[in-house]
Structure 1
Amino acid sequence: MSDDHTHVQEFFSTRAADWDSKFPDDGPAYAAAVSDMGLGTGGRVLDAGCGTGRALSSLRAAVGSSGTVIGADLTPAMLQAAARAGRGRHAALLLADVTTLPLRSESLDAVFAAGLIAHLPEPSPNLRELARVVRHGGTLALFHPIGRATLAARQGRQLRPEDLRAETNLGPLLARSGWRMTSYVDEPDYFLALAFRES
């Protein structure tokens, strides 16, 4: 495991037990983001870096009982917290590194990723790996329950021009990674960039 992956795993392992209680009001934002993805009944969707699985029930509702929902995370403690919360009934929980997914190429219709991009060790190739497992024309949702400015303020820092989630950076990054950004919303209480798999 690389140093980047070890750092991410350590960061989230120590926070897994009380993650949901720290952010109890995020549920409606997750549901809105999943709704904005336009998933259909029978769809196949991956929650990449699913953490404690807060999006899984919304994803299951969107694709219905005939659909497939996979929640993948690198951190065992996060998946254990998801299972304890009963979220395993909405999805298959998979211990996996989203930068090298154990999934067939073009096997999914969509990927949902909450807060993931900040933790990718090599964003362009890592986003290309997400593109690999999605069919042509499939959807990528990069989500955060609060916007960039709100997150920066919460963390006691200024917004930086090199922030990967800035629209001027994210569009070209996605384009280099096999995606085309179709919408971008960065409001105080909601961040969602949608893209479709282009190549």
Structure 2
Amino acid sequence: MSPTPAPAPETPEAPGSAGPAGPDAEHTAELARTRAFFAVRAAGWDAKFPEDGPRFAAAIATLGLRPGDRVLDAGCGTGRALPLLRAAVGPDGRVIGADVTPEMLRVADARHHGTAALLTADCARLPLADASLDAVFAAGLISHLSDLDGALRELARVTRPGAALALFQPIGRAALAARHGRELTPDDRRAEPHLRPLLTATGWRLDSYTDTDDQFLARATRVNL
């Protein structure tokens, strides 16, 4: 199995615009915890969620992708969304998968080789040019971000005005909390009263918000700050 591929040639790094100046100690520690958690679970991750495919497809459909579009799967993990994104943008489109855990990306490469350019990258510091994307799909990403504000600003930086963002989880907030043996708290960052103003402040307009037992989906549009 080959190492995680480098960025595709048509996805240039933007000199001087790679996001925040540098992660703080909390952010660095959070990245390390995320890598450690997923590294040992990468090989069997998809087998834990065999029923999620249709939910992923429905969430991706809300992006309104067209042939030739450029889309990022932020926190792509083992790449479950990559074939669906490739089908939506066609052979002339560009699909990029970014994740901080190399082991997850190796699984993605083995299962979906050639489907996307894979980047070992922090979604709060992406090696992508300003306004270079038409859409971002992010499944399960919010729960693993210590700096949600910074990550949303970074996703806004790399997308053009009018670009689409889907923050997705194939299970609702309450159901996920119950699965983990806890209850939702008022400060949950995914709650609409918290998420809407945060999106507004970071360059996004929340268009729709769904939180049912079998899905969490916040669909937003990139606006000019």
Counterparts of 1:66-145 in structure 2, within 5 Å, are 66-85=92-111, 87-145=112-170
> Which residue identity does 1:162 align to in structure 2?
D
2:85 maps to 1:59: yes
> Which residue identity does 2:40 align to in structure 1?
T
What CA RMSD, in Å, does the superposition of the two structures yield over aligned residues?
Answer: 1.0
Q: How many residues align?
A: 198
**Alpha-carbon deviation of 1:66?**
0.8
Name the counterpart of 1:35.
61
Structure 2 distance, partners of 1:109, 1:155, is 35
**Partner SS state of residue 47, structure 2:** helix
Structure 1 distance, partners of 2:151, 2:186, is 21
**Partner SS state of residue 160, structure 1:** coil
Structure 2 distance, partners of 1:120, 1:164, is 10
Counterparts of 1:17-32 in structure 2, within 5 Å, are 17-32=43-58
> Which residue identity does 1:18 align to in structure 2?
G
Name the counterpart of 1:7.
33
> Which residue identity does 1:161 align to in structure 2?
P
Structure 2 distance, partners of 1:111, 1:42, is 14
Structure 1 distance, partners of 2:179, 2:93, is 37
Identity of aligned residues (%): 59
2:184 maps to 1:159: yes
TM-score (norm 2): 0.86
Q: Deviation string for 1:44-79 (max 9, x for gaps)? A: 000000000001111111111110000011100000
**Alpha-carbon deviation of 1:84?**
2.0
Runs of 4+ in structure 1 over 4 Å off: none
Consecutive unaligned residues of structure 1, counting only runs of 5 or more, are none
Structure with the greater relative contact order (CA < 8 A, sep ≥ 6): 1 or 2?
2
**Alpha-carbon deviation of 1:24?**
1.0
Structure 2 distance, partners of 1:149, 1:61, is 32
